[in-house]
Chain A
Amino acid sequence: MKGRVLNTSIMASVTAVVIVMWVMLASAPKTSAIPAFSRKYQTSCTTCHNNYPELNDFGEAFKKNGFKFPKDDEVFVKEPPVLLGSKAQKEAFPGAVYPGEIPGYVPVAFRYSGNFNYNAKQPIAAGFLPRTDLFVPNTFTIIGAGSFGPSLSFWVDNDISADGANGNAGLGDGYLKFNDLGHALGLPKDTLNLRMGQFELDLPITQARTINLTPYDVYSQASIAPVSNAACATIGSPAGTACTTNNPLQFGIPQRGIEIGGYPNDGNFIWSVAVVDGSNNTNALRNSKDVYVRVSQRFNLERDPESRNAVQAAGPTGPRDHTSIRFGAFYYYGRNALNMNGSLFPGFGTVHEPFYRAGADFRFKYRHLELYGVGMYGHDQDLLPNTVTGTGFVRTSPVTFSGGFAQANYWIYPWMIALLRYDFVDSPTDFSNGVSRYNTRNRFSPGMQFLVRANIKVAFEYQRRWEQPVTLTDGNTIFFRPNGFVSGIDYVF
């Protein structure tokens, strides 16, 4: 009886998480290019973006400098800030409020994006899916960003609406950042910064500023135990007991927390350590906090020393990103809590299942070509109540997955970009849960993007997806590929 209750509960959890996962796939939070900065500096989007919202070398330097030009910012500002106290007021501190500033313009920008989806025909047993769907997720985003002075910057972006009229949307990133705190300690420039609020983790390849129409599959991977796992039923637990791991963590979703980090040596070395909630739900799902660590090193391959040390390289036909390669590694550790209210394992306390994500990445840039990839491994230790002793929990089969993606972008013209992307996720538990025909889910996504203007983009992406099983009414199982073609419009202003 107990096992049956557990199975029902697990099935409900699996279904809920899978549904959440697909909703996330359709409406992953996106941040954006910032036309407010175009207005502030009276410059085009292309100053910071080769293909918005992805940042070029100058855009990266601008962002890292607290949304200011890397050198002589005040020279370029066309809309001077409003001073919240004169500079000399610093000397009166702490007898007076420390002086700051706010942007002289209203630092607000907007973004609209909507896709036209063409879906492959799928068996009716898998549920109805329209062959075509116009302008989804139909997202309107408001973005505010800027600086509050030399060492403070801020960012807020919110999807005002998504998924059609009255659709749910929410805050993407919303944080305050203290830049170059290490300056006071005599550390090299940009060695130490502090960021607090809700933000995308310092991911190897950003999901928030992706140029793709669909999120990276491995970033959307949640760890859910198989509905039925014989290994779990053999370790002291009642017969029929299944593993219970149900970890909603997805890398691509912004989190609430505090991050310290830096990018000394002109951003060639980057490090960050973040303490986060593990989710961005209304309330934290558990008491424990997660830790995320990332380091990466860029090797600048420019031959000309002057070009190598500049913010952008001096190409024969104009400034461009440095020819470079970056290698990085990341690690995420947390303890997912289950049974907080005792309903999953009556009579037992809260179970804290340790989990981690670890991975490595690279990014290579050469003229009009950009290559990058991420490999990642996920491990969630499943724990079940020890019914032999009646107290505590025992380790059972962990839920694991591995995966990643590789992508190539090529600028045929400055306004025409070809993309080739390969996603793969190897998840035996997803296979057990009927998400895919095999352990490995692969997706191949070629695409083209056109910058109609510097702030208007039309994008196309074809997705050849992995096979999924579906059980027909006669009990037979067939397999189908939910392939799709997506074309999107996207503009910022």
Chain B
Amino acid sequence: MSLFGIAAKTAVAAGLVVALAGAGWANEIKGKVSVQGIKSAENIAVYVDVIADKKFDAPKDHVVIDQRKMAFIPHVVAVQQGTTVDFLNSDPVGHNVYWPSISGNKKLSHNLGTWPKGDKKPFQFNDLGTAPLLCNVHPEMSGYVVVVPTPYFAVTDKDGNFEIKNIPAGKYTLKTWSEDGKPTTQAVDVSAATATVELTVKK
């Protein structure tokens, strides 16, 4: 084989690798969550469960949860394990943030105290599970931090739609968490550029 031929084959192979790799990272999961016995399909966390032999670094970017008009905004936040959440107080009244457990484990309860308007307090969530956010003087305030093991997650919109982007090709287990429904588990094959799934969350 001539030198030109070798160079040409190498270039084609390299192009294929790049193309395949590019195609793999561009995959996404699109889906819709339907609910049975639950008022709304909004604010349901959908995430890819633990991937064997795969570890992810903790994200450096912080996520912000605001306390505004005596409400946690957004109501449900999904974060990757190790993410730091900044709790902001935008109200001119005193608030505090605490969670009595993480997924029922009361040893993981935590109280962040009180801070004035405009200030924020960070907390790094290293434990998997759901932290129900509460304020001890305004018990009507409610929020959730859903800590998931992978960076592949989303929270449904008001119609139950969600998108998980930049997921490599492969076979995964998709899980849901919702405030009022039972967890749902479903296998998903992300071999095409877009995998479409339909999930149902029951009360």
Contacts and interface: CB of A to CB of B under 8 A. Distances in A.
| Interface size grouping (class) on chain A | 20 to 34
Interface residues of B, number: 20
Given A43-B70, A310-B94, A318-B111, A58 B139 contact: no
A317 B96 contact: yes
B137 A318 contact: yes
Contacts, number: 73
A59 to B, nearest CB: 11
Given A43-B70, A76-B69, A317-B111, 19 more contacts: A46-B137, A46-B138, A58-B93, A58-B137, A75-B91, A75-B92, A76-B70, A76-B93, A310-B94, A311-B94, A312-B94, A314-B94, A314-B113, A314-B114, A315-B114, A317-B113, A318-B94, A318-B135, A319-B93
Interface in B56-93: 69-70, 91-93
A312 B96 contact: no
B136 interface: yes
Contact of A414 (B98, B115, B136): B136
The 5 closest A-B pairs by CB, nearest first: A319-B94, A318-B96, A314-B114, A71-B92, A318-B136
A46 B134 CA distance: 13
B140 to A, nearest CB: 5
Contacts of A454: 139
Contact of A315 (B92, B113, B135, B140): B113
A314 B136 CA distance: 12
A314 B95 CA distance: 9
A319 B98 CA distance: 12
B170 interface: no
A371 B173 CA distance: 58
B116 interface: yes
A288 interface: no
A454 B70 CA distance: 17
A44 B140 contact: yes
A318 B67 CA distance: 14
Given A316-B113, A317-B111, A318-B114, A44 B139 contact: yes
Residue among A310, A314, A319 with max Cβ neighbours from chain B (10 Å): A319
A268 interface: no
B113 A312 contact: no
Interface string A39-63: 0011110110000000000100000
18 contacts: A43-B140, A46-B137, A47-B138, A58-B93, A71-B93, A76-B93, A306-B116, A311-B93, A314-B94, A315-B96, A315-B113, A315-B114, A316-B113, A318-B111, A319-B93, A319-B95, A319-B96, A319-B137
A37 to B, nearest CB: 13
A58 B69 CA distance: 16
A422 interface: no
Nearest to B71: A42
B140 A42 contact: yes
Contacts of B115: 314
Contacts of A75: 69, 91-92
A70 B137 CA distance: 16
A414 B98 CA distance: 15
Contacts of A43: 70, 138, 140
Contacts of B137: 46-47, 58, 312, 318-319
